[in-house]
Amino acid sequence: MKREGRGDAAREIAPSVVEGWPVESSSSHLFLIDYLSMADTLISPAIERRTNSALWYGLLITCIGIATHFLYFLRPPPTISHLLPWINLLLPAIGLILLFVGLAGAFGRSAVYSGKIWGSGVTAIALLLFAGEIWLFEKTRDVPKSAGAPQVGERLSEFTLSDSSGQPTSLSQLFLASADGSQPKAVLLIFYRGYW
């Protein structure tokens, strides 16, 4: 029979080795060791422990996700600030997925991967954080569509409201000449929410 690889060679040798146990011949003995070492790591005496990188990356990305909340205060350009709420949500989600992958490794192949205890703790906290992120995302985006609001090109109806000294002020008054004599060409009306 043609030898195609170590596996085939071992399959040929192994039955005779088992039948003829204990093996006297030194060459057969070498084959037996060879056969055992290429088998699953589960039966190998020295198991190679590996770092549970999924758990560590999950923890790192979750922490970065929390940190992205502070980016609002750094006055990012409009394109980034519009993406920020999504980034706030996405990073903790990715972190959580990685943590679950890491936990699956820690529990499923506990001989290889560590982190059963700390990984469970971190994942539980990350899960709560993610729930909080979803709540915040929904809460801050719960702004009415304002379909009835004035549209670009429409004329704004006149109004009169009190200014900070209690003086009634109308929209057309805002276009009157200011103290230095200059006449405003446009008025920027900002409706402030009052509560952040």
Total Cβ atoms within 10 A of residue 69: 14
Residues 162-191 contacting another protein, CB under 8 A: 162-165, 169, 171-172, 174-175, 184-191
- CB-based contact 1:12 (threshold 8 Å): yes
Residue of 42, 46, 147, 177 that binds another protein (CB under 8 A): 147
Contacts of 191 (CB under 8 A, 6+ apart): none
Q: State which of residues 26, 27, 157, 182 lies at the interface with another protein (CB under 8 A).
A: 157
Compute the residue count for the chain. Answer: 196
One residue of 142, 177, 180, 182 binding another protein per CB under 8 A: 142
Under the criterion CB under 8 A, does residue 141 sit at the interface with another protein? Answer: yes
Ramachandran area for residue 163 (φ above 0: left; ψ -120 to 50: alpha; else beta): beta
| Minimum CB–partner distance for residue 134 and another protein (Å) | 14
Residues at the site binding another protein, with contacts judged by CB under 8 A: 72, 75, 78, 81-82, 84-85, 140-144, 146-159, 161-165, 169, 171-172, 174-175, 184-196
